[in-house]
């Protein structure tokens, strides 16, 4: 699948279980300027709920999410 959204940074959290994909994404977002887009790749099904909730609570924008054969991709725009 092609990249659906342009991004400034990419984090591959494949093979990591909850809560590590979210924790690593938070650390990566902390290093980015406001408005930057982080693409996260994860294989943990629980990450869907985690990223949706995190975006709402932290004020970030979940621009897009994809689920393809157990691989989850998220594009988060930093608040």
Q: What is the DSSP string of 1-25?
A: ---SS--SEEEEETTPPTTHHHHHH
The answer to whether the pTM exceeds 0.85 is: yes
- What is the per-residue pLDDT for 2? 54
Please give the DSSP secondary-structure letter assigned to residue 74: E
- What is the per-residue pLDDT for 62? 97
Does residue 3 surpass a pLDDT of 80?
Answer: no
Tokens of 2: 């092609």
Of the candidates 79, 71, 6, 17, which has an alpha carbon nearest to the alpha carbon of residue 39? 6
Catalytic residue among 18, 20, 41, 63: 18
Q: Is residue 18 flagged as an active site residue?
A: yes
Sheet hosting strand 71-77, strand order edge to edge: 9-13, 37-42, 71-77, 61-68
């Amino acid at each position: 699948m092609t990249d659906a959204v342009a991004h400034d940074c990419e984090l591959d959290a494949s093979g990591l279980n909850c809560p590590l994909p979210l924790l690593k994404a938070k650390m990566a977002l902390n290093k980015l300027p406001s408005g930057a887009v982080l693409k996260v790749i994860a294989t943990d099904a629980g990450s869907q709920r985690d990223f949706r909730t995190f975006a709402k609570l932290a004020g970030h924008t979940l621009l897009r999410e994809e689920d393809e054969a157990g691989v989850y991709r998220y594009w988060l725009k930093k608040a």
